[in-house]
Amino acid sequence: MAGLFDQQADLYLDARPTYPFQWYSMLAARTLHHSLAWDVGTGNGQAAIGVAEHYEQVIGTDVSEAQLQHAIPHPKVKYLYTPLSISDEELLSSIGGENSVDLITVAQAVHWLDLPKFYSLVTRLLRKPGGIVAIWCYNDIAVSPTFDPVMKRFHDTTLPYWNPNIQYVFDGYKTLPFPFESVGLGSEGQPLALDIPKKLSFEGFLRMLRSWSAVVTAKNQGVDLLSENVVKELKSAWGRSNLVRSIAYKAFMLAGKVKL
């Protein structure tokens, strides 16, 4: 998937929602120590710099070099390119070694990972006791009663072009394996529902749609899902061209610690 996300790297930086700072506070409150955090699939580093407000050092890793080129600099964040060819032992040592990490975060990315391999690394890396892993994602956007049905029709046109793993997102992570002990922020089969508020212009919204992997995949196959007519219909439902709306991304979280 790295190549696919390389193509949309420039769209991610300003199109994606910003995760509320309260999320990082509630995660930090559940770890005993605040020395080291690992942000997996860090992309432009949005979650990593949020985590950095509570931890001495954050390591943000990604399989996409292009994404990392857009990463937001921060004095407490170190970005690492981790190609798919990297071995578990190499990755383990580059993060900090066994029993070293206080918080592991995965924002909008765990469904792309080799879950058994990733969960094995989590189990080895997390500090015991006191370390936790938290994953979150969003799968819907609430704008207005007028806009939402139009958006639903557009979303339906994207379905053939998503990677099968996206089903975990469509299910709100309710079907995602998560073999960790609950810390009160969602558990396997019972994710915690959260909203991400954001003020957004139509142009910003359109950039977000263009960053979808399904839209990029379709375009690579010669199908323009955001044709002029589709954009015109979405824009009409949005309202005035300069209208900035208060919207909500519908998100969900799973968090846990290693079962001892």
Cα 122 to Cα 40, 114, 180, 258: the distances in Å are 11, 12, 10, 8
Backbone angles phi, psi at 105, to 5 degrees: -120, 145
Question: CA–CA separation, 7 vs 67, rounded Å?
Answer: 9
Q: Is residue 151 part of a domain?
A: no
111 domain residue, yes or no:
yes
Q: How distant, in Å, are the alpha carbons of 21, 58, 88, 145, 210 from that of 54?
A: 10, 10, 27, 38, 33
Region 23-30: mean pLDDT is: 97
Residue 67 belongs to a domain: yes
User: Is pLDDT of 6 > 60?
Assistant: no
Nearest C-alpha neighbor of 260 from the set 88, 118, 131, 121? 131
What mean pLDDT is reported for the chain? 91
Count, residues in the chain? 260
Q: Is residue 217 part of a domain?
A: no
**Is the link from the previous residue into 160 a cis peptide, with omega within 30 of 0?**
no
Average pLDDT estimate for 7-11: 43
Mean pLDDT, rounded, for 69-96: 95
Query: Does some domain include residue 72?
Result: yes
Domain span at 92: 1-138+164-199+250-257
* 213 occurs within a structural domain: no
CATH number of the structural domain spanning residue 32? 3.40.50.150
pLDDT score at 240: 82
Tally the domains of the chain.
1
In a domain, 207, yes or no: no
**Angle 52-249-102 (CA atoms, 0-180°, nearest 5)?**
25
pLDDT in tens, 147-169: 999 999 999 999 999 988 899 99
Is residue 60 assigned to a domain?
Answer: yes
d(CA 241, CA 202): 7
